[in-house]
Structure formats: C-alpha cells, structure tokens
Amino acid sequence: MWRDPDMLRLLSLSACQSVLFGRMYSFMGGGLFCAGVGNILLIVSTATDYWMQYRHSSNYMHQGLWRYCVPGKCMTHTDSIAYWDATRAFMILSLLACFIGIVIGVMAFIHYSSFDGFDKTFAAGILFFISCFFVLLAMAVYTGVTVNYYGKRYGSWRFSWSYIMGWVAVVLTFFSGIFYMCAYRMHECPRNSNSR
C-alpha cells in the first residue's frame, strides 16, 4: 500500500481535475445547446412576418421586420422607419455575435489548438453576452415603439410568435453566456492550483 504523501496528493489532484473538467464540459455542452437553439430562434424571428398582428378595416394583418401582410398578399416595407431599421440592425448583430460565439465555443470544446493567444471559453461567453445585449436592445426598441404607436392607433392588436421567439432568444443567449463563464471558471481553477 502506498504511504507516500506526495503521491496521494498527486492522485487526489488528478481526480479533482478530472471531475472539474467533466463539469467544465457539461457547462460548455449546455452553453452550446442553448446557443444553437437561440441562434435558430434568432434566424426564424428575424426572417418571419409575425412580430405583431392587428385588425385594420375588418381584416387581420400581420407584420415582421421586413414585410407586412394583408389577406392574400405580403408587401415589403418601403418606408425607412428608424425603429424598424434599429431593430433589424440589432437582430442581425445579435445573430452574428451568437454564430461567431458558437464557432469559438466549438473550438474550445474540441481543444482546437489555433489561436492559443486567447481563452476561447471566455471569448465565447463574452460573445454570447454581446448577442444577448443586442437582441435585448432590438426587443426593447420594438416593444417601446409598438406599444406607444399601435397601442394608441389600433384597438385590436397583439404581439405574435416571431416576437415571442425573439424574447426566448434573449433568455437562451444569456444562459449560453452564463454556462460558458462557469466553464471558464472551472478551467481557470486547475490552472491556479497548479501554479502554487
């Protein structure tokens, strides 16, 4: 039986590190899952025409960021209205930040050796938070203007499923950032204990 205290400490440290790395990969896997679903929701929300529905001249109409639809046909928004432009821009920036975060997150997950100058886990977490911030801005701008304008102009209107998907994407991108920051902290703990 081994009685060497250094050997026991080394085995204990090795077992602790394997548990931490297992948890780290669980956090990264959860983050990638949330980011993947969130990115799909961002794409669908941005591209579809059901951000809001309203009744106009006894017809139900619906609109998205790019088109508005009356019964039987859809038309492109021709007016350059600032809140639509801002919402579109923030949604596209959010989509790009989330996609780049997913790419960097996968690189961190598989230990891709290029770009060793920065911590990919930390970078992915920051990109997911940036994505969350942009989609939150988009939703806030759209909500504020829509409630103030359509709430006074039309009596029968409501937000629709494309809009709701945008809010779900806010939550998913936020949790992706949380998961990746937890994975980053797990990754940093073994480094700090080895440096002592």
Q: Which helix (H) or strand (E) holds 78?
A: none
Which residue would you say has higher pLDDT here, 125 or 119?
Answer: 125
Determine the CATH number of domain 28-46+80-194. Answer: 1.20.140.150
pLDDT value of position 117: 64
Average pLDDT, the chain: 83
Q: In the chain, what are the domain boundaries?
A: 28-46+80-194
What pLDDT sits at residue 137? 97
Q: What is the pTM of this model?
A: 0.81
Q: What are the start-end ranges of the E strands in 67-169?
A: 67-70, 73-76, 157-159
pLDDT at 10: 47
> Can you state the percent helix, strand and coil of the chain, rounding each to 5?
70, 10, 20
Is the predicted pLDDT of residue 60 greater than 80, yes or no? yes
Mean pLDDT, rounded, for 116-134? 90
